[in-house]
């Protein structure tokens, strides 16, 4: 993502820059030397997309997104007349992770909403969601895999035209819905593209062969340890990711062990065992990521929280209990 002077820059050179509203430098975070746009669920932070970015009835929308939040939060929505039902009628939208864990993508004219809700993204990593529009069909793909087609008899240009109040209006938003009560999006967007044609299935599903360096870079980017500042139990230390091998080293093996321990007549103890101390303790663990001749490292600083205090008799100030009566031959 490229941001300059309050604009999300159209790197195609067509001048269709988005306008950043309420976003600051803090929203454009660096991951592996690339800028990604982080949305925090704040309705006051979004990007206005200009008229003209959708050129006609045939086009493709492609977004690379990461979110673990399941909610009614919209990544993008075209047709910018903001309001509440029944005043909002014409739109195209995408929610990458709704409450039941599926993608909610659809389009609606003034009468009927048509939905695709079969796709799912993978947690903890970037996913590419692609939607093509051509000849009355919206086709949905996730990470290069075809999900389903939704047939319609709508005119996309009519949907967008009827969603815009004034000539100077934008044509849609990144980061929020046009339905005012909807929550804003929470997650990260690394790439957003609109093509002026419908990509073919072969073009979308073709798996591009990655170089050795790209495999290592991708594994490094996706590798993560959740809740690193609040470790209270054992952590998972994967040994492979995206085809690359991963080994681990701890700055304090007594607190976070990175060795697999063999147990006689029992299953082995995996790496990642945490031993909490009397006070909060920071431990650095280093991942070495390798594929063929390419190797890199990634460090994580974990805060292992102090172990729970042992209770004494003085900690018990009173108690509450429930007594259930029973029945017997002698009565209750």
DSSP string, 219-284: HHHH---TTTT-B-S-----SEETTEEEEEEES-TTTB--S-EEETTEEEEPS--B---SS-EEEE
Q: Among candidates 51, 50, 26, 30, which has minimal Cα distance to 40?
A: 26
Residue where a domain stops, chosen among 205, 224, 243: 205
* List of residues 6+ apart from 182 with CB closer than 8 A: 72, 73, 74, 176
How far is Cα 161 from Cα 158, in angstroms, rounded to an integer? 5
Total domains in the fold of the chain = 2
142 shares a domain with 56: yes
In a domain, residue 322? The reply is no
pLDDT in tens, the chain (332 residues): 788 888 898 877 678 889 999 999 999 998 877 889 999 999 999 999 988 888 889 999 999 999 999 988 999 998 866 667 666 677 899 999 999 999 999 998 777 889 999 999 988 889 999 999 999 999 999 999 999 999 998 888 888 876 555 656 678 899 998 888 889 999 999 999 999 999 999 889 876 678 899 889 888 988 888 889 999 999 989 888 878 999 999 999 999 999 988 888 777 888 999 999 999 999 999 999 999 999 999 999 999 999 988 877 777 766 677 766 665 555 55
Is residue 326 assigned to a domain?
no
17 and 132: one domain?
yes
My answer on whether 261 and 296 are in the same domain is yes
178 in any annotated domain:
yes
**3-class secondary structure, 295:** strand
- Looking at the domain assignment, is residue 66 inside a domain? yes
Q: Do the domain assignments include residue 325?
A: no
Its domain, for residue 268, covers 212-309
Q: Is residue 329 part of a domain?
A: no
């Amino acid at each position: 993502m490229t941001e300059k002077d309050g604009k999300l820059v159209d790197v195609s050179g067509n001048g269709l820059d988005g306008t950043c509203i309420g976003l600051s430098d803090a929203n454009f975070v660096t991951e592996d030397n690339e800028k990604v746009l982080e949305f925090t669920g704040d309705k006051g932070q979004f990007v206005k997309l200009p008229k003209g970015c959708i050129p006609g009835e045939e086009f493709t929308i492609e977004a690379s997104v990461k979110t673990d939040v399941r909610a009614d939060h919209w990544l993008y929505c075209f047709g910018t007349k903001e309001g509440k039902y029944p005043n909002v009628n014409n739109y195209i939208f995408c929610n990458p992770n709704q409450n039941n864990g599926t993608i909610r993508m659809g389009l609606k004219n003034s009468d009927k909403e048509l939905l695709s809700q079969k796709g799912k993204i993978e947690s903890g990593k970037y996913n590419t969601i692609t939607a093509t529009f051509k000849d009355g069909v919206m086709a949905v793909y996730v990470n290069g895999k075809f999900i389903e087609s939704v047939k319609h008899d709508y005119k996309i240009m009519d949907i967008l035209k009827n969603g815009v109040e004034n000539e100077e209006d934008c044509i849609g938003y990144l980061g929020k819905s046009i339905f005012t009560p909807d929550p804003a999006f929470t997650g990260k967007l690394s790439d957003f593209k609109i093509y002026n044609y419908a990509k073919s299935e072969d073009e979308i599903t073709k798996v591009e062969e990655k170089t050795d360096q790209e495999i290592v870079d991708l594994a490094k980017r996706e590798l993560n340890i959740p809740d690193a500042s609040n470790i209270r139990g054992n952590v998972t230390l994967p040994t492979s990711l995206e085809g690359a091998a991963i080994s681990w080293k701890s700055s304090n093996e007594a607190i976070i062990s990175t060795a697999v321990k063999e147990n006689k007549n029992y299953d082995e103890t995996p790496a990642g065992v945490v031993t909490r101390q009397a006070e909060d303790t920071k431990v650095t663990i280093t991942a070495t990521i390798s594929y063929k001749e390419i190797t890199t490292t990634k460090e994580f600083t974990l805060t292992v929280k102090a172990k729970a205090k042992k209770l004494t008799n003085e900690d018990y100030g009173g108690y509450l209990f429930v007594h259930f009566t029973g029945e017997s031959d002698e009565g209750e």
